[in-house]
């Protein structure tokens, strides 16, 4: 980004696996970068943190067009899975992605054209990580299954496919576009079954659906940033490319975002 840390006005990180309950991951990052005086905070919407966080950045810029935001998504899911539960531990990986976000289009790689964020807290039990204040614990208390990630896979699959597909369709409707106007679909890299099902329901050619889950696993909020960087490295994205991103996470949270690349 060719920028100095001292020029940052905000640091926002999305994570469901923070290093500590506090200080925030963003605050820790600011300290390691030697950045002081700006706003730092975390957003936890699990695997959907990427687009939720991007929407928050847009809100900040609408109030402060001169803001320069360091936005990062970082997850260490391998520290939160139960390694005796083969239904979950083999799915998840660790990863991180970051970018600088400003309001000056001429200085940025891509900008969001439309974003949609949704949630349904009544379904939070379908995928969750324990260890918070829901359960009191004392020194010497053994760690049991309630502290790890748990997931009702079949139900999560149904909600993920249905809601990601609907979110993509709504974003395109708002822009007066259809799926043929999209150069690349970059879905949350949960698993290939979900990725293929969303692409199939949207009616997009499989060659325009990006997947690298076989390489990294499900890295939660880091999966879309990693996928975008990977697609860029493979020369799949260039000036004028329209990319439809969609994610789904615990909470439940989901949505979609349409990006346009400027270089």
Q: What is the DSSP string of 47-108?
A: GGHHHHHHHHHHHHHHH-TT--EEEEEEEEGGGTS-TT-TTTTTTB-EEEEEEEE-S-GGG-
Q: How far apart are CA 130 and CA 145, in angstroms?
A: 9
User: Phi, psi at residue 116, to the nearest 5°?
Assistant: -135, 130
Whether 183 contacts 243, CB under 8 Å: yes
The catalytic site residues sit at: 47, 188, 218
**3-state DSSP assignment of residue 222:** helix
Residue 219: name the closest of 69, 34, 14, 7 by CA: 14
CA distances from 187 to 16, 21, 41, 178 (A): 19, 29, 25, 17
**3-state DSSP assignment of residue 214:** helix
Whether 46 contacts 220, CB under 8 Å: yes
Residue 90: name the closest of 227, 214, 209 by CA: 214
């Amino acid at each position: 980004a060719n920028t100095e840390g001292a020029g940052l006005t905000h640091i926002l990180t999305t994570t469901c696996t923070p290093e500590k309950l506090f200080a925030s991951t963003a605050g820790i990052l600011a300290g390691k970068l030697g950045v002081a005086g700006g706003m730092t905070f975390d957003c936890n919407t699990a695997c959907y943190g990427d687009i939720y966080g991007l929407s928050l950045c847009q809100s900040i810029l609408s109030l402060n067009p001169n803001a320069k935001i360091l936005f990062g998504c970082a997850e260490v899911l391998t520290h939160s899975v139960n390694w005796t539960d083969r239904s979950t531990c083999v799915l998840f990986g660790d990863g991180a992605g970051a970018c600088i976000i400003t309001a000056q289009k001429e200085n940025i790689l891509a900008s969001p054209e439309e974003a949609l964020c949704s949630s349904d807290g009544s379904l939070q039990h379908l995928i969750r990580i324990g260890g918070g204040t829901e359960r009191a614990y004392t020194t010497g208390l053994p760690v049991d299954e309630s502290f790890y990630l748990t997931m009702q896979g079949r139900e999560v699959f149904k909600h993920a496919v249905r809601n990601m597909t609907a979110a993509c369709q709504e974003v395109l409707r708002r822009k007066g576009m259809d799926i043929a106007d999209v150069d690349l679909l970059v879905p949350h890299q949960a698993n290939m079954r979900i990725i293929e099902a969303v692409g199939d329901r949207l009616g997009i050619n499989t060659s325009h659906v990006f997947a690298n889950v076989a390489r990294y696993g499900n890295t939660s909020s880091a999966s879309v940033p990693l996928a975008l960087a990977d697609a860029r490295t493979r020369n799949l994205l260039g000036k004028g490319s329209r990319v439809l991103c969609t994610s789904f996470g615990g909470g439940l949270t989901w949505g979609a975002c349409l990006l346009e690349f400027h270089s």
